[in-house]
A and B are shown apart, each in its own frame.
Chain A
Amino acid sequence: DGGITQSPKYLFRKEGQNVTLSCEQNLNHDAMYWYRQDPGQGLRLIYYSQIVNDFQKGDIAEGYSVSREKKESFPLTVTSAQKNPTAFYLCASSPRRVDSGFITDTQYFGPGTRLTVL
């Protein structure tokens, strides 16, 4: 059964603690992404990775860190530097298809992790 898994579904942490959100995919996709979803703001890109051992900052990377040591895994750490960490976090992946020099791919999303910082 292929897909993207995120764990846990709900996560509670005290203010000032770092927390790591898990994202695993068995779709053999090259690219993986982390988004944050807040009411009225849609999805905002935190970090993305096009290939193992490489990643780029998205629009709201401050206070977050990632690693991509394996193709299947792209964990996100929410650090104490993130000023407003309570949110719904979505992980996604996409294959790396290129057609006539242009990238053509679709993102597949995980179920999300709702992080609440108390």
Chain B
Amino acid sequence: AQSVSQHNHHVILSEAASLELGCNYSYGGTVNLFWYVQYPGQHLQLLLKYFSGDPLVKGIKGFEAEFIKSKFSFNLRKPSVQWSDTAEYFCAVRAGASGTYKYIFGTGTRLKVLA
């Protein structure tokens, strides 16, 4: 069965620190990969996505993620976090087979950035 693992459940950083959130998935075929973010009191929204092509994907607000197929990973990074990045971050995977709309979400990582 497909699964998504986010190993860090809670992360606390000071402003300007670098961020890397891990995401590993289990599926051997073609995948679409996503990072979603949920700011306090707001909708879950897309941060970035990977469908094909360049494995280094850039998203909004300075975030990026790298798809490493050999490691089944799609880690999220930001070189310098801000207080406003405090949120919950979810990694999601969808098997890229035609006719499959099912997404699998990770358990989420709560990031707190200290001012």
Contact = CB atoms under 8 A, between A and B. Distances in A.
A104 B105 contact: no
Contacts of B107: 40-42
B94 A103 contact: yes
Chain B residues touching A, range? 20 to 34
A111 interface: yes
A64 interface: no
Interface residues of A, number: 30
A42 B105 contact: yes
Contact of B44 (A50, A90, A102): A90
A13 B36 CA distance: 30
Interface stretch (B12-20, B60-68, B74-82, B96-104): B96-104
Interface of B: 6, 9, 30, 32, 34, 36, 43-46, 49, 51, 90, 92, 94, 96-108
